Structure 1
């Protein structure tokens, strides 16, 4: 009876299962099977990964106990089409900064120019230039060169080396006259004590006493330079007839041109007046019709006479020959000073009595204006 009862119950269960299965649609059955399949696969993969990485429970630990950093997701690079351009943003520049720098430069230049003008006004170089152009004839290029050297040097007080101007030219071109104008001007500006005019014939007439003359000149220069340092002025030494100086005097002058001296000996202006190199100057002017370019040949000739002119600190300045028209101006000036009425016919007659070089259609006086005073005195 019991076995029969169990069979009946089994049959009833199978019948119920069949009935329940028959109630589900084929689509629903397919969904249930897919869900069971993927849930089982996901559970299996998760378990295998946990076992491989050595994870224990909910703690993300590696087998050695060290925490593992999660991997960062790499961003994919954004690619732009080839027909488009990508521009970086430009940084805006502040233009006011450039304006401020430019303004500071202008202020600095104005202050610097004001300082230079104060120094040049102290020596009245503008007045000196006007005087030279008014009273010296036929040397316009030379006067401009001299003024450039003086302006550059006298615009400041502290220097690394003295200024030495060496003026050379034939007889009668105005060397001694230039020296007198320099002495007269700077004596009126800085005083008589700081301007020394030295004539070789007068201060050292005996050739055998050259060493004694050199000692006296060195002492005089030291005294004047010391006085000028106390007054913060630049002294002037105008030395005429340098061609008559013996080697001891030239050696003494050369020693004062060295840069490694006391400060007071660096702030000095020396003016040398000499007829040395007159042959080279005359030949150059007659060949070229101008004094331009005669500096090299003149310095070469002077360097063979004494090492003084080998020093680049010595500015060699050649004076040009005077033309006939310049000699006429000398006659007019001298006749006016002597009180004569300047008759141009008489002046030309006197000018024709002089000897001249002829070159390129020009007449150059061999003796310059040297004989003008003597001829005017005979009137």
Structure 2
């Protein structure tokens, strides 16, 4: 693909050069202008830029993906669709969209981020305007906390200056130095501009395992009471979740002003997955590989996973996290 792009650009330049040598000086000026303009057009066509060709929200695609690919997450699906849809349709939002996704490993936090990115950016997660920060990779040393704060501010400012429709994903928030995220609080607040830069059209996603136990306990309580998991509503979890995260010393949100000042638009709970959801994950992975879905194989793989509580085996401890690698073993 890169070779093709290079060929096209070289062809444009060579064509322009031939035309320049063909015409008189006055015409040459016109030809050079046309060639330069055409070159810019082709360059912008082949290389991602911050415009509607490369960034265009597809609400229908997001809705379809959430309903067909995200299993067992009725609360998260509803929140994500309404929040992202409302934000992207607002030509003049008052602040950036800030979503905090919480749940056990394998419940779909990173997958949800991927679906959101794919619905907005033509290049999806590979877009130059989608930026992923992983705590253990980008902020590994607590002793360098002050340096990280300065770097984080500069990274965000620089990227939003480059494209106002930037997305920032912070993974492993539960491993982030408490208070580090407060360094970007001004960028998430209700400011028109900061130092000449508007952050109001940016999106911030925080992913964390923190609060996962509270979510799982609520789901387990519903199960013990014989109630359907689809009866669980956001109101059953949101306050419990925000408080548990705010007061958790191991959380990047510990005592953070983002919560205190209500700058997080939604705390999105992702429920622990049941056996049937794991089976759906296996079937979906087979389909993605171009293999005919095998119900027997999916059941076999799902049964061999670890579930909680041990006696009842209700919820998958790792959700769908290891499905991809385990399927290699079972096939």
TM-score (norm 2): 0.69
Say if 2:179 and 2:255, in contact at 8 Å, map to a contact too.
no
* Pairs within 5 Å for 1:42-81: none
Task: Please say if 1:310 is aligned against 2:272.
Answer: no
Task: Please say if 1:159 is aligned against 2:93.
Answer: yes
Q: Given the alignment, which residue of 293, 301, 320 partners 2:244? A: 301
Deviation per CA, 1:221-257: give whole Å up to 9, x if none: 111222234xxxx322122111121135212133322
Deviation per CA, 1:243-290: give whole Å up to 9, x if none: 121135212133322224516122321111111111111111111243
- SS of match in other structure, 1:153: helix
Provide the alpha-carbon RMSD of the alignment: 2.6
Determine which structure has more spread, i.e. the larger CA radius of gyration.
Answer: 1
Equivalent in the alignment of 1:281:
215
- SS of match in other structure, 1:265: coil
TM-score (norm 1): 0.61
- SS of match in other structure, 2:90: coil
Equivalent in the alignment of 1:235:
166
Say if 1:196 and 1:237, in contact at 8 Å, map to a contact too.
yes
Q: Given the alignment, which residue of 183, 186, 196 partners 1:252? A: 183
- SS of match in other structure, 1:193: coil
* Pairs within 5 Å for 1:156-195: 156-188=90-122, 192-195=127-130
Q: Given the alignment, which residue of 149, 158, 177 partners 1:214? A: 149
Change (3 A) 1:349 1:203: same
Shift of 1:146: 1.0
- The count of residues paired between Structure 1 and Structure 2 equals 255
- SS of match in other structure, 2:169: strand
Q: Given the alignment, which residue of 56, 59, 65 partners 1:125? A: 59
Range 131-140 or range 170-179, more displaced: 131-140
* Pairs within 5 Å for 1:341-360: 341-357=292-308
* Pairs within 5 Å for 1:195-206: 195-206=130-141
Shift of 1:164: 0.6
Deviation per CA, 1:103-127: give whole Å up to 9, x if none: xxxxxxxxxxxxxxx9xx9411221
Change (3 A) 1:127 1:339: closer
- SS of match in other structure, 2:122: helix
- SS of match in other structure, 2:308: strand
Shift of 1:350: 1.6
Specify every segment of 5 or more residues in structure 2 that has no aligned partner in the other structure, as ranges: 1-51, 224-228, 248-253
Change (3 A) 1:240 1:353: same
Specify every segment of 5 or more residues in structure 1 that has no aligned partner in the other structure, as ranges: 1-117
- Aligned-partner Cα distance in 2 for 1:343–1:122: 36
* Pairs within 5 Å for 1:72-111: none
Say if 2:103 and 2:209, in contact at 8 Å, map to a contact too.
yes
Say if 1:183 and 1:238, in contact at 8 Å, map to a contact too.
no
Say if 1:199 and 1:241, in contact at 8 Å, map to a contact too.
yes
Say if 2:56 and 2:121, in contact at 8 Å, map to a contact too.
no
